Chains A and B, each alone.
Chain A
């Protein structure tokens, strides 16, 4: 029995909050926000023609069978794109801005493949490339946390961090 749902209620105030292992799509003038990206990655997608935009907050690079799709970069982006398409976006026009994927700590569990942050960034590039989507701006890596706000009208992605303040991608 499926009792778990990640459905978020329809927005009225113009701000849609995207949780962790979550994504959301906006076809109007809403702002999509997500916070607390450490090694996690934020993927902002935008179709400039229709203004349909989407934001995903993924934790890990690749999904295993039967896992919660929004938690992973590959399946999360796929889901986000199919919802954007349903909302009227044309994937050929969609561009991406990405932020997050930092390496804040050197854990003993990290193996030769690099940190989870680095692997998340790599998986994001590979997945987007597979859909033919260009990354037009990015703020990835480093050793600090980030929070994001995507203005779905303009496609501007505001990145906030404790150390380097705010800037817009």
Chain B
């Protein structure tokens, strides 16, 4: 099976317009203002997706679909957002009474309203009919969140099966409620959609999977290097490759103030990288690098720059090896600003020549939540495609 940028665009548009329809249904039927923030086409292993559900302790409602297209849709909420949504749907009922079965049935109802509309758009595009199952509520911590999702992935020749996940980040009621709408089609259904949109210049899906592996390796190396430098154990919580409309890149971040560094890298591919910490994390990491010292602002900045440097080279060195090229990294520029505004100029610069972007995001954190480090990398699309070609099995 092959994937190309054109079919990824089709996917992204279908998913976005489906999500807009789904958001519109909730706005109209329940009177709750709902917006689609970002639509991402993500490529990762099933384990990546499951980890995220587990980390965030998500409550979810699943609806399967079959017919012209097979797979699963999932509406996932944090427990707090689920509670607020139920509260907004049934304001007359005491929130404590609303727990349990009543809450479960209203979330199922929301899923029915939203996911039905979401799938309809895909069926229309493919000129086919798609049946949906009744919703299943999943909050059992013992269950793998994707246990119900028997979407077969595509083989990467290794143990890790990769899946293509369409993920829409939604928010409602003035940011009080945040939730994600996922769609995981089966590999053969992805083939169906790719066929419908044409395969010009397509790359084997394995090269995307190989690139996703490379990102994982980079994130693990960065995590090891941070541990070596700070003496604090860290792990990679999540590492993802996604395909996003360029304006969706800054919208993936919130308004919260972040501190960190921004760097340019050049080679094949070239692009931008941002290493960002929330403010408490930045404080903690600076003091772990300046033990026993009352560091002033300039010292803290240089500590953050140093960790940014180390993280970036750990993250990118593996790419250069795998792609048999050299990647040069600019000196790190310290930033302390609104998160989405930090990423905005990076995306805007690329927006001059591309409408969509491959966004790489990884999160490295300590076990005790002492700090969390987010890595965002934005490679130039054309150059990345060249790099992906090099990773193709045939190359």
- Chain A residues with a Cβ under 8 A of chain B: 1, 3-5, 7-13, 15, 17, 19-22, 35-40, 59-60, 67-68, 71, 102-105, 107-109, 116-117, 144-147, 160-163
Contacts and interface: CB of A to CB of B under 8 A. Distances in A.
A104 B335 contact: yes
Interface string B251-269: 1010101000010101000
B23 interface: yes
A115 to B, nearest CB: 8
A38 B335 CA distance: 12
Interface string B1-44: 00000000010011011001001100110011111010000000
A147 B246 CA distance: 19
Contact of B20 (A5, A21, A145, A162): A5
B121 A3 contact: yes
Interface string B327-350: 000100101111111111111110
B337 A35 contact: no
A37 B27 contact: no
Contacts of B266: 108
A35 B348 contact: no
B355 to A, nearest CB: 7
Contact of B345 (A19, A117, A160): A117
A161 B347 CA distance: 20
B174 interface: yes
A117 to B, nearest CB: 7
A98 to B, nearest CB: 16
B341 A37 contact: yes
Contact of A60 (B34, B253, B257, B352): B352
Contact of B336 (A4, A11, A40, A162): A162
B173 interface: yes
A137 B287 CA distance: 42
Given A21-B247, A59-B247, A144-B337, A38 B348 contact: yes
A12 B27 contact: yes
B342 A38 contact: yes
A36 B339 contact: yes
Given A9-B28, A17-B35, A162-B257, A40 B348 contact: yes
Contact of A59 (B253, B335, B348): B348
User: Which 4 pairs, one residue from A and one from B, show the smallest C-beta to C-beta distance?
Assistant: A145-B341, A36-B340, A38-B344, A9-B27
B250 interface: yes
A105 B341 contact: no
Contacts of B31: 12
A66 to B, nearest CB: 11
A110 B35 CA distance: 34
B27 A36 contact: no
A33 to B, nearest CB: 9
15 contacts: A4-B17, A5-B17, A5-B20, A7-B24, A12-B27, A12-B32, A19-B247, A39-B345, A67-B355, A71-B351, A104-B335, A108-B266, A144-B341, A163-B336, A163-B337
Interface in B221-262: 246-248, 250-251, 253, 255, 257, 262
Given A38-B250, A39-B345, A3 B14 contact: yes
Contacts of B17: 3-5
Contact of A36 (B255, B335, B351, B355): B255
Given A1-B125, A60-B348, A35 B333 contact: no
Contacts of A162: 257, 336-338, 341
Contacts of B340: 35-36, 145
Interface in B337-373: 337-349, 351-352, 355
A57 to B, nearest CB: 9
A37 B344 contact: yes
Contacts of B342: 38, 104, 145
Contacts of A13: 33, 173-174
Contacts of A68: 355
Nearest to B172: A13
Contacts of B251: 19-20, 36
Contact of A104 (B10, B32, B121, B337): B337
B345 A105 contact: yes
Interface string B110-145: 000000000001000100000000000000000000
A123 to B, nearest CB: 13
A69 to B, nearest CB: 13
B345 A20 contact: no
A116 to B, nearest CB: 5
Contacts of B20: 5, 7
Contacts of A4: 13, 16-17
Contacts of B351: 59-60, 71
A68 B20 CA distance: 17
B348 A145 contact: no
B250 A20 contact: yes
B13 A145 contact: no
Contacts of A35: 255, 338, 340-341
